[in-house]
Amino acid sequence: MAEPRVILDAGHGGTDPGAVFQGRQEKDDNLRLALAVGEELQRRGIPVDYTRTEDVYQTPFEKASIANNSGADFFVSFHRNSSPEENQYSGVEVLVYDKTGKKLDMAENIVGAMGEVGFQEIGVKERPGLVVLRKTRMPALLVEAGFINSDEDNELFDAQFEQMVEKIADAIVGTLHEGTFETGQETDREENLAQERNYRVQTGAFEKRENADRMLYELQNQGYPAFILEQDGYYRVQVGGYRDMENAISMEQKLRRAGYSTVIVG
């Protein structure tokens, strides 16, 4: 029987540095950790894919799309946490869509493994609104590998890096080899995805209607199927209405190249 395939995501990247502290950028720590864990997993015979292996920008929707098209059985995203004030908090937490199935087991195992390295164990938390947890069609979790603005966590991250990588790999491999996957929630989410496919690309949100109108006319003059949606006190300028995420991503990339600040909604 083939080993389960894992796709690793290094959060942020490119023009999106993530959290920044004293010149340290989250995107760099995320990529370093994802690549190292991937190398260790491959050494142990686990097939690994990545959402990125270089310093490139991807929207969360792009990351989810890459994962869904990879054929992977499990999705693990790496991040660093941050707090409003430096050295305010420290510790590791893992985020999941909900606390069910194999992903919960792996999340708890990773928290415990990093506790063995010396990190405080914050625990596992539900975050159903996160795109990379909500739009992926396989068990998915997001690891917050300590606070980037905590001197204590940064010291552990750097000094115990190799041990941390081994412990995370231990947790992932151990969970993958524990029984069978419980995919009921992932199946439910996949059915929900099919029902809610109406992805749009938002290019702006304005308090004043005239500002939204100005962008609307500009987009329509360039041939984009743009419209205004009044929602939550804002006039939101959006383009398209796509059943497939890939089509929305294609439009989002086109608009971004044209100079617009974009986000996929749906």
Q: What pTM does this model have?
A: 0.74
List, for residues 90-108, the tens digit of each pLDDT value. Answer: 999 999 999 999 999 999 9
Helix runs in the chain, H state only: 26-43, 60-70, 101-117, 131-134, 151-159, 161-176, 184-195, 209-221, 245-257
List, for residues 43-53, the tens digit of each pLDDT value. Answer: 999 999 999 99
- pLDDT at res. 13: 94
Percent of the chain with pLDDT over 90: 72
- Separation of alpha carbons 242 and 140, rounded Å: 24
Max avg pLDDT among 137-151, 169-183, 229-243: 137-151
Say which residue the tokens 């790999």 belong to: 169
Beta bridge partners of 126: 96
- pLDDT at res. 196: 46
Q: Indicate the angle between helix axes 101-117 and 161-176, nearest 10 degrees.
A: 150
- pLDDT at res. 228: 86
